[in-house]
A and B are shown apart, each in its own frame.
Chain A
Amino acid sequence: MTIETTKGPLLEVRDLHVYYGHVQALKGISFHVNEGEIVTLIGGNGAGKTTTLHTLSKLLTPRSGEILLGGQPIHKIDADEIVRTGITHVPEGRRIFSRLTVRENLEIGAYLLTSKTEITRRIEASFELFPRLRERERQYGGTLSGGEQQMLAIARALMLDPRIILLDEPSMGLSPLFVEKIFEIIQSVNKSGKTVVLVEQNALMALEIAHRGYVLQSGHVVMGGDADLLAKDPSVQSAYLGGEIAAAL
């Protein structure tokens, strides 16, 4: 089902096993992400989607398995060092620093940069992309609406100009209008050259904008391939897309 490119993948996960104490959350998952793709991980609650992202950014350490970035292993470096390899993570629930201002949140996103002029330039660039954030520049992050916080979280993760951006449930808790907007933003981020790994409950919309997808179920990858094909797959439809709705489309 999967169409392999001849060039090696940008990110490759091989047989990853991850535990929370004694509970095994990932039972040997493998997948890959090519440069310039949007790859979505879908699946029910507890399937291991968030765990996978946490392992990619090393908030969790795998017990075994490999994570390769451009062929180089990165599963042994610390979380704060992963960022330097060009992977940034927009965590579930957005995790805006509530008592830092919008501008300070962006500055923290650029923590690894030392040039003040460069930081200012990038903040300007993200205000171009998200004019709403400019209006809120001096407000505490905690005072923003959910949709604005999600924009801020994405803008913050773009500050370091990453190669790969990991997005965890960006549509969670947002009004339908904002969900549309966030998905448009994700697509435009991807068109600007960033590779995207997208974890979503909203599998229908995720498959719509993704190039490829993987279906996770209790810590295993049970299916993977072109997003169009996955969206048409009867088992995916009944399990994650809510049968009739998907059929109607």
Chain B
Amino acid sequence: MLTDMLLLLPTTLIDGLVLGLIYASIALGYTMVYGVLGLINFAHSEVFMVGAIVAIEVLIYGLAGTGLHPLIQLVVAIAVGGLAAGFLAVAIERVAYRPLRVRNAPRLVPLITTIGVSLFLQDSVRFVESLFGQFIRPFPSFPFFNRQIVLSETVFISNRTLAIIVLAVTLLAGLYYMVHRTRLGKAMRAVALDQKTSQLMGINVNKVIATTFFIGGVAGGVAGVLYALQFGRMDPFSGFIPGIKAFTAAVLGGIGSVEGAVLGGVLLGILEVVLGTYIPMWTNNAIGTEYKDIIAFSILILILIFRPNGLVGRAYAEKV
């Protein structure tokens, strides 16, 4: 059995990494919005879902039969899906959250609103998609993505896996650079620390908040497309679970921190896949793959008991 386990290990780790990078990309949206507003945006999982569905529709109705290389089709679909998700996130902020903010609503109110927006979007998308047939949208199949690259006798990697890893790492690196090295990123960090003083520096706080929603939304939408590519489908309700897991990843890493979101996402993805693969083997299938979340989340709770601010979280109070 040990040799079986060792044989499976590289593939398992790669699958875990793929899932983890997707979680990390979703987690960024939670963590960036939490950073600037202290708000947990539960509607982010629907932004993720809409990005994926728009991309699938673009592939089916816009690009099918064009004969373009699958990678180019994927990149175009990601661009459109990501932008749609970004604009949706901005619209949600403008319509549902900003009015509460300017009226100084207690913190619980916008939180409840995010849950309301989440449910609203799930059923709106279900309604619209149902008009055109079934609302479960399979990701169009491209033989290209199933092709395997042989790394060694026992280790293969598919074009799909490789594409997801490259795209997700590019996205995460781009966002890291944006937050830490650009003028906009500096403004976002300043607004996260102190909105009033940011205004005194000439920063338009509302604009920065909207931009944060846009960037987080784009990242979530792109993650949605990659998730649909990996698992082959998306439906109006399948944003919820990955959304909750990505939120967990953000908390695990230390909410408000970009590095934390990436670390937490990758860790959660690898834990989930590794445990889902090995636990049935260790227990002779007495405990099946379906229990992977229980075990993964138990480990997360344990980590948080000892590091309540997350793996890279801030341990001290911000305000003087």
Interface size on B, residues (CB 8 A): 20
Q: Is the C-beta of B187 less than 8 angstroms from some C-beta in chain A?
A: yes
Check: B162 CB closer than 8 A to any chain A CB. Answer: no
> Hey, which chain B residues are within 8 Å of A98, CB to CB?
193, 318, 320
Beta-carbon nearest neighbor of A109 in chain B: B201
CA distance A68 to B205 in the complex (A): 25
CA distance A97 to B189 in the complex (A): 9
- Within the assembled complex, what's the spacing in Å between the Cα atoms of A160 and B186? 17
Which residues of chain B have C-beta atoms less than 8 A from A107's C-beta? 183, 186
The yes or no answer to A59 lying at the interface (CB within 8 A) is yes
| Residue from the list A80, A95, A104, A156 in contact with B205, Cβ < 8 A | A80
The answer for the CA separation of A84 and B200 in the assembled complex, in Å, is: 10
Instruction: Determine if A160 and B202 form an interchain contact, defined as CB atoms under 8 angstroms apart.
Output: yes
B199 at interface, CB cutoff 8 A: yes
Name the residue in A57, A78, A80, A95 with the highest tally of chain B Cβ atoms < 10 Å from its Cβ: A80
Select one of B201, B202, B318, B320 contacting A99, CB under 8 A: B318
A88 to B203, CA, bound (A): 13
Please measure, in the bound complex, the distance between the C-alpha atom of A107 and the C-alpha atom of B187, giving whole angstroms.
10
Chain B residues, CB < 8 A from A100: 186, 189-190, 193
**Is A83 an interface residue when CB atoms closer than 8 A count as contact?**
yes
Given the contacts A97-B194, A98-B193, A98-B318, A108 and B199 also touching, CB distance less than 8 Å = no
DSSP majority for the B interface? helix
Query: A97–B200 contact, CB under 8 A?
Result: no
Q: Assess whether B298 is interfacial by the CB under 8 Å rule.
A: no
Q: Say if the beta carbon of A224 comes within 8 Å of chain B.
A: no
Contact B201 A108 (CB under 8 A): yes
**Which residues of chain A are within 8 angstroms of B183 by Cβ–Cβ distance?**
107, 111
Given contacts A99-B318, A108-B186, A108-B187, contact A88 B200 (CB under 8 A): yes
Is B147's beta carbon under 8 Å from chain A?
Answer: no
Measured in the bound complex, the distance between the Cα atoms of B201 and A37 in whole Å is 23
Flag whether A91 is at the interface (Cβ < 8 A). Answer: yes
Does any Cβ of A come within 8 Å of B197's Cβ? Answer: yes
With contacts A107-B186, A108-B187 taken as known, whether A80 is within 8 angstroms of B193 at the C-beta atoms is: no
| Complex Cα spacing A93 to B194, Å | 12
Q: Tell me the nearest residue of chain A to B207, going by C-beta.
A: A80
Q: Please pick, from A91, A93, A99, A104, the residue contacting B200 in the complex, using a CB distance under 8 A.
A: A91
**Residue contact A83 to B200, C-beta cutoff 8 Å:** yes
A17 lies within 8 A of chain B by Cβ: no
A52 and B320 alpha carbons, distance in the complex (Å): 22
The yes or no answer to A129 lying at the interface (CB within 8 A) is no
Task: Indicate the size class of the contact surface on chain A.
Answer: 20 to 34
Contact with B along A71-93 (1 / 0, CB 8 A): 00000001111011000110101
Rounded to whole angstroms, the CA-CA distance of A95 and B196 in the bound complex is 9
Q: Tell yes or no: A112 within 8 A of B by CB.
A: yes
B200 pairs with A57, CB closer than 8 A = yes
CB distance from A54 to the nearest CB of B (A): 9
Interface centre among A91, A111, A156 (most CB of B within 10 A): A111
Contact status A99-B189, CB under 8 Å: yes
Residue from the set B196, B199, B201, B202 with the largest chain A CB neighbour count within 10 Å = B201
CB distance from B195 to the nearest CB of A (A): 10
| Cross-chain contact A97 with B193 (CB below 8 angstroms) | yes
Complex Cα spacing A33 to B252, Å? 53
A window 91-122: CB within 8 A of B: 91, 93-95, 97-100, 104, 107-109, 111-112
Chain B 251-289 interface mask (CB, 8 Å, partner A; 1/0): 000000000000000000000000000000000000000
B186 and A104 contact, CB distance less than 8 A: yes
Q: How far is the CB of A1 from chain B (nearest CB, A)?
A: 33
Min CB distance, B215 to chain A, in Å?
18
Contacts of B193 in A (CB 8 A): 97-100
Bound complex: CA of A78 vs CA of B205, how far in Å? 11
Decide yes or no: A59 and B318 within 8 Å by CB, A107-B186, A108-B186, A111-B187 being known contacts: no
Chain A residues with CB under 8 A of B200:
57, 59, 79, 83, 88-89, 91, 95
23 A-B pairs in the complex with CB atoms less than 8 angstroms apart: A59-B196, A59-B200, A80-B199, A80-B204, A88-B200, A89-B200, A91-B196, A91-B197, A93-B320, A95-B200, A98-B320, A99-B318, A100-B186, A100-B189, A104-B186, A107-B183, A107-B186, A108-B190, A111-B183, A111-B186, A111-B187, A111-B203, A112-B202
* A binding-site residues for B, Cβ under 8 Å: 57, 59, 78-81, 83-84, 88-89, 91, 93-95, 97-100, 104, 107-109, 111-112, 156, 160
7 tightest A-B CB contacts, nearest first:
A83-B202, A79-B199, A95-B197, A112-B202, A89-B200, A80-B204, A97-B193
Q: A79-B200, A80-B201, A100-B186 are in contact. List 5 more A-B contacts (CB 8 A).
A: A83-B201, A95-B200, A98-B320, A100-B193, A111-B202
